[in-house]
Structure 1
Amino acid sequence: MTRSTGSAHPTNMQSAPKINDRSRPVPRVRAGGSLVAFTASAVVLLLLLIFILQNGQRTDVHFFGAQGQLPMGVALLLAAVFGVLLVTIQATMRRIIQLRPLTRRHRTAVYTTTITRPDPAGTDPGADVPEGRN
């Protein structure tokens, strides 16, 4: 049996077309960003789990008259979550207060514009049409 030396695909093919003698970059897709975000979230959750498990000693917690005992890791995690919620509420309220005058100005500008009629009352609607086109 003899083997042919040629192949069905030429060997000088390039993997990606070139633009200005440079290989074209691989396009970014949303799935790649989602995968990175998912991986980062999984790593953060794993670190939180390790933190909670390593700080398992019980501690007294007092909050607005309520008291109890929680593991130290859980108490610190709850404090962090409440801190994030407070910052989110503050930022949201700040943005609402910032946008309220803008929307009020926009709303008053829209409602104060007068609508002009193309033909004032009391004029004949066909008065501006040339005589030959009635």
Structure 2
Amino acid sequence: MTHGQDSAATPVEPTGPAYPDPAHPEAAPTDPGTIEPVGYGKHGKVEHVPVAKIKHTRVSGTWVAVIVALVVLVFLLIFILQNLDTATVHFLGIEGSLPLGVAMLFSVIAGGVLVALIGGARILQLRKQAKKPR
């Protein structure tokens, strides 16, 4: 049961920016990301139409950030699991013992919080200065 012509009988060569027509070297676009051939026009020249570029959105940026964060978390978990030797920590007269990887994680978190507080204070200072009339 066949309908119409058999598509396997007539091979179709791929065309487009990635496959310029060898018979028409002028058919290859100068910037393959911005134009797309639509067919042959007068005198055997290829007619091109602009292709809309995909805009990057906040959601796509968020997905990239989530993927990067997951990779970082996997490496962090591997680091902690490989550094389970007990370490004694002394801080302001308090003494305790915990795994070395966890102790290092807490120190990195404390450093990040300190940097975030200083950066937040600077942002508030700049916003206050920007609101002042000149």
On whether the aligned pair clears a TM of 0.5, the verdict is: yes
Change (3 A) 1:63 1:2: closer
Runs of 4+ with >4 A deviation: 11-14
- Pairing partner for 2:125 from 85, 91, 97: 97
Structure 1 residue 48, shift from structure 2 partner: 0.4
Match of 1:34 in 2: 62
Within the alignment, does 1:54 sit opposite 2:72 as a pair?
no
| Cα distance between partner residues in 2 of 1:22 and 1:65 | 73
Structure 1 residue 74, shift from structure 2 partner: 0.4
Within the alignment, does 1:18 sit opposite 2:18 as a pair?
no
Match of 2:42 in 1: none
Structure 1 residue 93, shift from structure 2 partner: 1.1
Q: Which has the higher helix share?
A: 1
Structure 1 residue 26, shift from structure 2 partner: 5.0
Aligned residues: 101
What's the % identity of the aligned pairs? Answer: 32
Q: Which runs of 5+ in 1 are unaligned?
A: 110-134
Structure 1 counterpart of 2:108, one-letter code: A
- SS in structure 1 at match of 2:102: helix
Change (3 A) 1:54 1:4: same
Larger Rg: 1
Question: TM-score of the superposition, structure 1-length normalised?
Answer: 0.59
Structure 1 residue 97, shift from structure 2 partner: 2.3
Structure 1 residue 33, shift from structure 2 partner: 2.6
| Cα distance between partner residues in 2 of 1:97 and 1:2 | 76
Structure 2 counterpart of 1:21, one-letter code: H
Structure 2 counterpart of 1:79, one-letter code: S
Change (3 A) 1:2 1:97: closer
Q: Which has the higher strand share?
A: 2
Q: What's the RMSD between the two structures over aligned residues?
A: 3.3
Match of 2:4 in 1: 4
| Cα distance between partner residues in 1 of 2:93 and 2:100 | 19
Structure 2 counterpart of 1:83, one-letter code: G
| Cα distance between partner residues in 2 of 1:60 and 1:34 | 39
- SS in structure 2 at match of 1:21: strand
| Cα distance between partner residues in 1 of 2:129 and 2:63 | 40
Structure 2 counterpart of 1:4, one-letter code: G
